Amino acid sequence: MNRSITSLLVVIVVAVGFMVSKNKRVARNIYKNFVESALGIKVENPLQKLYAGFILGKEHFVKEVLDKLKEESLDKGDISYRRALKTPYGAEEIFEKICKDLDVSHYEIKKNKRKEYRDMVIFLMKKSSDLTNKQIGLLLGNLSYSGVAKAHQRFLEKIKRNTGLRKKTEKIMSNVKG
C-alpha cells in the first residue's frame, strides 16, 4: 500500500478514535489495537475497486448512486468516465442482454460461430461500456485487443452500408441502455 493511502487511513482511524473517546490515551489505544490487528495482513488498496473513478462499494450501492445522478449532469463536457456513469449495467449484464436480444448463446459468440454477431457484440460493448479492447477480448474468449479493434472497424463499415443491420443494432443498443 502506498504511503499516502496509509497516511489517510491513520488520520481516519485517529479521528474515529477521538470520536469514540475524548480521552487521548484511550484514542491512542484504539489506534494501537487497530494497527496491531493488521500487522502481517496484506491490506488491499480500496482505490483499485473504484467504479468510474470515484464510486466505491458493492454493485447494488454503485447502481443506487448511479440512479441518483441526473442524466443532464452527465452530459457536461468536464465529466470523467461519462460512458461508465451512463451505463446502468456491468459488462456481463450487457453481454447477457445482447445475447438474449440476438437469441444467441454466449458459446456461439465466444467460439466465433456467428462472426457477424460477435462483431455486433464488440461494437455494442464499446458503445455502451467503458471497457477497453483488451477487457472486451477477454470477455469474448481471449480475443486480442487488436482483434477487437479490427472487428469494431469491420462492423462500423457494415452498418454504414446495411440499413437493416444498423436498425437492428440501434434497437439492441436502446435495450442495453435501459
Q: How many whole angstroms separate alpha carbon 100 and alpha carbon 5?
A: 43
31: its cell numbers: 489506534
Who has greater pLDDT, 165 or 129? 165
pLDDT over threshold 70, residue 108: yes
Alpha carbon distances (Å) from 47 to 51, 58, 92, 105 = 9, 13, 22, 35
What are the pLDDT digits (tens) for 46-78?
Answer: 777 776 666 777 777 877 776 666 554 655 666
Which pLDDT score, from 0 to 100, does residue 103 have?
A: 87
**Residue 17, phi then psi, degrees to nearest 5:** -60, -40
Which pLDDT score, from 0 to 100, does residue 84 have?
A: 58
HSE, CB side, 13 Å, CA atoms: give it for residue 18: 6
User: What predicted TM-score, i.e. pTM, was given to this entire model?
Assistant: 0.54
> Which of 113, 135, 111 lies closest to 122 in space, CA to CA?
135
Which pLDDT score, from 0 to 100, does residue 155 have?
A: 93
pLDDT over threshold 60, residue 146: yes
Who has greater pLDDT, 138 or 28? 138
Tell me which CATH code domain 87-176 carries: 1.10.1750.10
Which pLDDT score, from 0 to 100, does residue 141 have?
A: 83
> Which of 108, 62, 105 lies closest to 87 in space, CA to CA?
62
Q: Are 88 and 51 in contact (CB under 8 A)?
A: no
DSSP states of 101-154 as a string?
HHT--HHHHHTTSSHHHHHHHHHHHHHHS---HHHHHHHTSS--HHHHHHHHHH
Which pLDDT score, from 0 to 100, does residue 163 have?
A: 92
**Residue 51, phi then psi, degrees to nearest 5:** -100, 130
* Domain residue ranges in the chain: 3-46, 87-176
Q: Are 169 and 177 in contact (CB under 8 A)?
A: no
